[in-house]
Structure 1
Amino acid sequence: MRGVLRVFVDANVLYSRTQRDWLALIYLQGEQSPYEVYWSEDVLAEVAYHLRRRHPLWSGRKIATLRDRIAGTFEVGRVTDFEVVAVDGVTDEHDLHVHAAAVSCSADIVLTNNVRDFVGVEDYDVLTPDELFVLVDDSAPDAVAAAAAAEQADYWGRRGTADLAESLVDAGWPGFAERVQGHLRWMALSGQ
């Protein structure tokens, strides 16, 4: 992995609490994050829309607070200057705004769970969260280990003896789960 990656995040990643939390946890570790997170108001509007559909009884304040936390955590990554046009390779027209914003911010990676919607796009790599976090662990294992330790402490506090790595497998992240398990095992063996 070269330098700091520029990662444009699709709404389906920010919608998921697990994915959003890990994206922020690793981003906030240490003085230099292994990646910069980029997003657009269109992406956050899509997140809010899907949260409202899933949780019709949530207050407006709850959804607005979540939206503001995302924007505040990744505030330097707001992308506003882009024109949406049809392009070959983006198979879902509802993702054209993602492509346009990613190109506008010179993203290295589009982070999405819908990789199949970006076939043949050459402007950036398209990765799932599992793929990105394994890549990040290759280049910044200390950041991932610190995030894993923080999440494990929080996770145990909320869920008792539940297995963090197992929850990542359940979320569809087998590669990253293996990396997290390795970090947690090392910390346990070294007394950290």
Structure 2
Amino acid sequence: MRAPVAFVDASVLASKTLREWLFLLRHHTGGGLFVLFSSGDAFADAQFSAPLEERLRALLNDIVADYPEVPTLQGADEHDTRIHAAAVASNAIYVIAGDGRFANVDTDQLPYEVHTADTFLMLVAANVADAVDTVIHGQLDRARRAEGSKQPHRALEDAGCPEFAQCVLKHMQSIFKGESTQGIADRLLLEAPAG
């Protein structure tokens, strides 16, 4: 059985911090929790440099190139409609899109869940705290070696992931105290204000 497809909009892949977390979490879960797809249209919209586009194409599980036209989504702009078509063609379970995407669409009518990078990373953390810990250790090692590197939670805040940044900070605090990190994301999700 194939792992659930998470279709990633290029606006998310444009952030070095976000793409590192997505690729590293996929790697440290053995690709069994989710796989990462995007589309040629998303890449064209993002206008990545040739070297970055080549690297992303190699790291993603698949790039959806051809897909049938789908009816325009009520309230969607052209970009949302293209994301929707590619997500449907790839049988996506999740769509990870930049803030503001699908803002005017009734997402309850979609065949997939729409997430920001923040909400998707929190979902992953709630399911695989140990993978989050592994990525944190790698990020901290890199920060120690590279002068001027940000702490993982600060980089995530700057990338627009405040909830996951808080989760990572709490993981770091627990790791330093030698405490379990299991359940941290769940507790933060329960404490989060509705809306």
TM range (shorter): 0.7 to 0.9
Count of aligned positions: 175
SS in 1 for 2:92: coil
Could you tell me which amino acid in structure 2 is paired with residue 154 of structure 1? R
Q: 1:92 to 1:178 in 2, by over 3 A?
A: same
1:41-60 correspondence runs (5 A)? 41-47=40-46, 49=47, 51=48
Task: Please point out which of 164, 167, 173 is paired with 1:176.
Answer: 164
Residues 98/161 of structure 1: CA separation in 2 closer, same or farther (3 Å cut): closer
Match of 2:37 in 1: 38
Unaligned runs of 5+ in 1: 52-62
| Structure 2 counterpart of 1:42, one-letter code | D
- Tell me: CA distance 1:90–1:26, structure 2 relative to 1, closer, same or farther (3 Å): farther
Q: Please, what is the CA RMSD of the aligned residues?
A: 2.3
Cα shift at 1:9: 0.6
For residue 19 of structure 2, what is the aligned residue in structure 1? 20
Deviation sequence 1:71-115 (CA, Å, 0-9, x none): 1111x3222331233422352112322110100111111101133
1:4-59 Cα deviation digits (max 9, x unpaired): 43110111001111211111111111434421101111112222x2x4xxxxxxxx
Normalization by structure 2: what TM-score? 0.79
Verify the 8 A CA contact 2:3 2:34 in the aligned structure 1: yes
Q: Which residue in 1 is equivalent to 2:186?
A: none
In the alignment, residue 94 of structure 1 is paired with which amino acid? Answer: H
Distance 1:153 1:33, change over 3 A: farther
More helix by share: 1
- Report the AA paired with residue 20 of structure 1: R
Counterpart in 1 of 2:184?
none
- Extract unaligned runs of 5+ from structure 2: 180-195
Distance change in 2, residues 1:187/1:43 (3 Å): same
Equivalent residue runs for 1:49-88 within 5 Å: 49=47, 51=48, 63-74=49-60, 76-88=61-73
